[in-house]
Structure 1
Amino acid sequence: MRALLLAIGFLTRLPVPVHAYDDVRTKAASLAWYPLVGVLIGLLLGVLAWLLRDTPSMLSAALLVAAWVALTGALHLDGLADSADAWIGGMGDREKTLAIMKDPRSGPAGVVALVLALMLKFAALASLGPTPWAALLLAPTLARAGLAALFLTTPYVRSGGLGTALADAPRQACGLALLLTAVGCALFGGRGLLALLLAAAVFGIWRQACLTRLGGCTGDTAGALAEMLEVALLVGLAVR
């Protein structure tokens, strides 16, 4: 259970006991729990959506996006901004791209990426109506499953980075978690299948881009993947 608590503490701003952070091996094992943390995020957002069901759709969508950012601490938004700056500013050069990602400042590309991501999430949620529970559950769950899949299948190229310990995650447990995520998507019927196909497409495209540019992934590119998955799934389910 310590690995689950660590996953919750890292991926959300929910309080967990301090002792959960003590063991490095726990951090590696926590990767298998990432999809379940996505389920937890989705359930909490679903409860909020239910409470806001009689609220005008645009206001409800804005409050849901704000709660989403607060719940996750903008962790992955930071990775999206850094990756956007690095991908454009790096101009195809690996070392320059990695250096820009380490810079804590955000440039124009990063700011634009953040605005677009939040705007698309807001518009999609507003379009999904007063009860977007399926989308709220599928998007964060598949986004965190995407993180598990990325660290499971892609070399981590940032020495000493936050994701270093995740490279030693138990492959069997992570594989089982991903399988259960796919089975869970099937329970949503056509929406679940669409979400799974979109997630696989975005994952494959971004993973290949990271391999081509960097030879692997970093924590920032993982964060960017999570945000791109959430945006793609919300938009795809809204226009379905």
Structure 2
Amino acid sequence: MMRSLLVAIGFLTRLPVPAGVFDDERAQANSLAWYPLVGLLLGMLLAVLGWLLRDSPSLLSSVLVVLAWVVLTGALHLDGLADSADAWVGGLGDREKTLAIMKDPRSGPAGVVALVLVVLLKVTAITSLGTFQWLALLLAPLLARASLIALFLTTPYVRSRGLGAALTNASGRACAVSLAITAGLCALAKWRGALALLVAVLVFGLWRHACQRRLGGFTGDTAGALAEMVETAVLVVLALG
């Protein structure tokens, strides 16, 4: 159990964990169920940073929080977002071309625009959140990583190899429990938690449908894109709410 949690922390963040935990294939598969907890841990770190910066200019504080967000995650999901944006535009509806573009390490104009827009939306949303900034910073990474569990449980992984291949053997029961706990945590946040959960489900459904139509499933890059879209959507909707 602890090895699985350490694998999840090591994969989703840049927090140091023993390198040996990644040699255990069973721990890699079981790490999926721990994703929401890692998201909550990340959110707690960001919320604490936001609190420490509470007396700083709000825009500067927001930029520093987003910077810490990128550093803590190693821009893992941002990379997937950029690759997916390039592939969706450049693939022109063709499955094989879309998959080939996602494997290209270079970023094109669509990827750069997607990154800029997401970072701007996150910064402006966090700046606008005011008193409930801490709650949004907890919910956004929590729901983003819970959405990854839902993706693996409901959608085929289309690459035979890749960062997500080991996760296809995750325990469905443990993952279902993890999703239930996530929903319960959202319920504790009352209507804001319910709104964030609804937005996450909507983004998940729309992106899953798009991936199914274009690829017949998903890849690691499209999973990363999903996480970024859920985080951004939750922050923006809570800022508007």
Q: What TM-score, normalized by structure 1, do the two folds share? A: 0.99
1:163 and 1:12 mapped to 2: Cα distance? 15
2:49 and 2:179 mapped to 1: Cα distance? 26
Q: Which residues in structure 2 correspond to 1:129-148 (within 5 Å)?
A: 129=130, 132-148=133-149
Q: Give the corresponding residue for 1:32.
A: 33
Q: Give the corresponding residue for 2:49.
A: 48
1:46 and 1:234 mapped to 2: Cα distance? 13
1:238 and 1:192 mapped to 2: Cα distance? 13
Secondary structure at 1:13's aligned position in 2? coil
Which structure 1 residue ranges, 4+ long, deviate > 2 Å from structure 2? none
User: Could you tell me the percent identity over the aligned residues?
Assistant: 71
2:5 and 2:69 mapped to 1: Cα distance? 20
Q: Give the corresponding residue for 1:206.
A: 207
1:69 and 1:147 mapped to 2: Cα distance? 18
2:223 and 2:187 mapped to 1: Cα distance? 25
Which of 122-131 and 192-201 deviates more? 122-131
For residue 223 of structure 1, report the CA deviation from its aligned partner: 0.1
| Superposed CA RMSD | 0.7
Secondary structure at 1:155's aligned position in 2? coil
Which of 29-38 and 122-131 deviates more? 122-131
> Which runs of no fewer than 5 residues in structure 1 stay unpaired?
none
Q: Give the corresponding residue for 1:12.
A: 13
Q: Give the corresponding residue for 2:191.
A: 190
Give per-residue Cα distances to partners, 1:60-99, cap 9 Å, x unaligned. 0000000000000000000000000000000000000000
> Which runs of no fewer than 5 residues in structure 2 stay unpaired?
none
Q: Give the corresponding residue for 1:72.
A: 73
AA aligned to 1:14 is: L
Secondary structure at 1:128's aligned position in 2? helix
2:63 and 2:8 mapped to 1: Cα distance? 27
For residue 19 of structure 1, report the CA deviation from its aligned partner: 1.6
2:150 and 2:238 mapped to 1: Cα distance? 22
Give per-residue Cα distances to partners, 1:147-188, cap 9 Å, x unaligned. 111011110001211111111110000000000000100000
AA aligned to 1:117 is: V
2:131 and 2:212 mapped to 1: Cα distance? 40
